[in-house]
Homo-oligomer: A and B are copies of this chain.
Amino acid sequence: MAEKVLIYSRFPKSMMARFAERFELLDTGGKPAREVFPAEELNGIRAMLTAGGSPLGAEAMDLFPKLGAIVCYGTGYDGVDIKAAASRNIAVGHSPGANAASVADIAMTLMLATTRRILVADQYVRSGDWAASKQSPMMRPQAGMPGRRIGVFGMGEIGRKIAARCAAFESEVGYFSRTRYDLPYQYFPTLEALADWCSVLMIAVRAGAETHHVVNADILKRLGADGYVVNISRGSVIDEKALVAALTDKTIAGAGLDVFEKEPHAPDALTALPNVVLAPHIGGHTLDSHVAMQNCVLANLTAFFEGKPLPYAVKSA
């Protein structure tokens, strides 16, 4: 008989198809599990699949007395209380690096779309304003990529791929992360110093308590009037209210965002702005990336049910 796996977050059915071939899936559709399944069924649950950003604390874990494995779909696990899991002997797995190229690519897409104002450009052509020779105030020339200073915040797998791509655009690349690596990019010892130096801040840091709202009004002010922010990490890293204010009063020039503080809700003040490019958390949303992430999930679940350690365990767990 197939082992049971609780689908704790809301995932499209198509993404679950490969798992359904191997396991019996109890899909909550993102609703509270107790509303969807009877208690006796949940009491037997040993493994669950979740989105790493969905809140999953001690109280939630205690609803499943036999829970032994929390497997996150994707790289992030910031919603999971790692200490609470460890103290309950619950293994936590994820998909490290599986979506790194895909996420780095959406970072580049958002940076280029924002700095080259592609939404405005497209609308200028489609509306007929170009054909009518109407002036567009946003079409004035802007700085290009060669020589542009791009600051990468976080130098994990995604940060490295962003840095390598930016270097190919003939830009200068600097970075700040807790650790200084042997990499051909200028290292800055603080986020403040990086923000003073760069004009585009690419946020690729792992989300968590210590990075909550670290990109605040002060950091945005340091980027300056020609500055841009691109966030493909988690919405929690930016103080979203401060960002809206900085974009509205032109403290910075623009932003490209794939993530938001309260997904899937992007605040009205943000969606009304012309100098942002917004995406619905599609960083890891490519075919290659989904296959790679699913491979990690399958490997983690299979190992767990065979009584082995998770091959893609969260390191700090």
Contact = CB atoms under 8 A, between A and B. Distances in A.
Given A113-B112, A141-B287, A290-B141, A130 B264 contact: yes
A11 to B, nearest CB: 12
Chain A interface bracket (under 10, 10 to 19, 20 to 34, 35 or more): 35 or more
A119 B119 contact: yes
A40 to B, nearest CB: 30
A131 B271 CA distance: 12
A277 B118 contact: yes
B119 A108 contact: no
A120 to B, nearest CB: 10
Contact of A125 (B143, B170, B280): B280
A202 to B, nearest CB: 15
B118 A286 contact: no
A8 to B, nearest CB: 17
Question: Which 4 pairs between the two chains have the least Cβ-Cβ distance?
Answer: A168-B168, A144-B286, A109-B112, A125-B278
A271 B125 CA distance: 7
A282 to B, nearest CB: 6
Interface string A1-30: 000000000100010000000000000000
A122 B278 contact: yes
A281 to B, nearest CB: 9
